[in-house]
Amino acid sequence: MEVVLETKNLCKSFGAVMVNDKINLTLHRGEIMAVLGENGSGKTTLINMIGGIYYPDSGSIYYENKRVEIRSPKDADRLGIGVVHQHFKLVSSMDAVENIEIALSDKEYKNKADIRKRITDVAKKYGFTVNPDKKICDMSVSEKQTVEIIKAIIKGAEILILDEPTAVLTPQESSSLFNVIRSMKKDGKSIIIITHKLQEVLDISDNVYIMRKGRYIDTLKTSETDENELACKMVGKTVTLQIARTSYEKKKTVLSVHNISCLSDDKTVGLSDVSFDLKSGEILGIAGISGSGQKELCECIDGIREVTSGKIKYYAEEGNFDITNKKPEWRRKNKTGFGFVPEDRLGMGLIASSDMVDNMVLKSYKDEAGAFLHRKKAADIAKYLIKKLDIATPGIHTPVRMLSGGNVQKVLLGREIEAGRDVLIVSYPVRGLDINSSYMIYNLLDEERKRGTAIIFVGEDLDVLMALSDRIMVMADHRIAGITDARTVTKDYLGSLMTDTKGQVI
């Protein structure tokens, strides 16, 4: 097969960190190549160099065997390289037509009607559905992605690079995206798809290009490999992809949510009429397209977002409390056992520039008498957590921002587990973490379940949710689309709930 794109010894460093070290990649015409690697392995940096966002420190890029200089996204366009970035590069106040219009030069189109026609033509050819006159800000994530792909095709892309395209899609949307990718391949286009999901690699790609810590590791033929081999090559050591689900027998209801509604940050609907019970020793997984009300739900239960109607009841050993709109101060005074790990760890969870001790003090200083801080007790907790959770840090006085993502999460999770003896809310706890840290977090949550803690686990990977949770609640459009038994549910059913609201509630 003919080579369309080749990189030779591409290097890129940011400060002292070498994020791409002598990367050689060869892409053939009509090939679907998966670039596989963990977060921070340098995948995105590599495609940003091919796409003209970053300029390489050294090394060269060849397009159809000719050496090329790609200094800007425009240069990449001219060569026929289209990149769909993970964070879409679309102007949200404009519609699809206008977004494509700004990307075309005067010679490339006649008028808006011409662009509109081309959008529908491309959509028909590859099997998309899109409304060219809809504003980007009114579109779903999957529609935005469609606009990005159509934009790349209209600009004449022969090579399409997709950065983590399925991260935000439902299973159904992913499989229709894969169909589009396959029909583009038939059309003679070459595709690079960047991902860290093993199953996807096996589903779609012809070849797998594996990276780890900024280096090239191996290229494998997809048909000759399996999930375990890919995981080992990606991580660099053998990993066991096992998630434990321990059953807890002495279940009793600890939290019951009755018809709560709330507003979102921009005063639109945040939650609408949400009701469910949470039992001790269970993990309630929450699935759904991000932004369907998960964040608001966690914050309402934790008392940091105002509930406009409905009630939240908490059944503790000391008695029953109505905790609707009870602020954290009240909760601390009444010693409720709530822990919350927000998705924005270094924003809402921890103070990045403070050390572990100060981050522990944050939770306890109000309970102490006098005007002075008592760091001794907090330091003990910090030391205990380092030991218990095996946190890799130079010491308890190192600012938490200096720690790796996995260790930051352990610090936060450790602190909140201590606080959350009854209810623990974790939101996207493994986002951005490597495989080993992720599985360590899953096991920690299972440990907590064994102790009888009720856990609300907001996640994005359906396979993990199905393996870890006892029940799965799917949220769609700020309401509950359905609650199902995690042991028997299928992925397709969950996917259909994400975009629908006709599921059953158990």
Partner 1 sequence: MIINFLIAAVLAGAPLVLATVGEIITEKSGNINLGVEGTMYIGAVASLAGAVAAEKLGLSGFGVAAVSFIAGALSGMITSALFGFMTISLRVNQNVVGLIITIMGTGIGNFFGELMGQGAGGYISVTDETKAVFSGIHIPGLSSVPVIGELLFSYNGMVYFSLAAALAAFFIIKKTKIGLKLTAVGENPYAADAAGVSVTKYRYIASVIGGALCGLAGMYMCMVTNSGVWVHGCISGYGWLAVALVIFSAWNPLKSIFCSIIFGALMIMRLYIAIPGLNPFIYDMCPYIVTSIVIIITSIRKTGKDHIPESLGENYYREER
The nearest distance, CB 106 to partner 1, in angstroms, is 7
Strand partners, 368: none
CB contact set of 281 (below 8 Å; sequence gap of 6+): 248, 249, 250, 251, 449, 450, 451, 452, 453, 454
Q: Which is nearer to partner 1, 291 or 310 (CB)?
A: 291
Q: Report how far residue 343's alpha carbon sits from residue 446's, in angstroms, rounded to the nearest whole number.
A: 19
Q: Which is nearer to partner 1, 73 or 281 (CB)?
A: 73
What's the order of all strands across the beta sheet hosting 3-14?
17-28, 3-14, 58-63, 66-68
Q: Which is nearer to partner 1, 93 or 223 (CB)?
A: 93
Q: Which of 170, 188, 211 is nearest to 28 (CA)?
A: 188
The nearest distance, CB 40 to partner 1, in angstroms, is 11
Q: Which is nearer to partner 1, 106 or 318 (CB)?
A: 106
The nearest distance, CB 101 to partner 1, in angstroms, is 6
Q: Which is nearer to partner 1, 54 or 340 (CB)?
A: 54
CA dihedral sign of residues 76, 80, 85, 88: positive
The nearest distance, CB 100 to partner 1, in angstroms, is 8
Helix 171-186 vs helix 491-498: angle between axes, to the nearest 10 degrees? 100
For 497, the enclosing helix (H) or strand (E) is helix 491-498
Q: Which is nearer to partner 1, 159 or 379 (CB)?
A: 159
CB contact set of 433 (below 8 Å; sequence gap of 6+): 39, 405, 406, 409, 441
Q: Which is nearer to partner 1, 252 or 401 (CB)?
A: 401
The nearest distance, CB 116 to partner 1, in angstroms, is 15
The nearest distance, CB 85 to partner 1, in angstroms, is 7
The nearest distance, CB 257 to partner 1, in angstroms, is 30
Residue 316 and residue 337 in contact, taking contact as beta carbons nearer than 8 Å: yes
Q: Which of 23, 45, 42, 43 is nearest to 34 (CA)?
A: 43
Q: Give me the residues that bind partner 1 (CB under 8 A), please.
A: 14, 53-55, 72-74, 77, 83, 85, 87-94, 98-99, 101-103, 105-106, 151
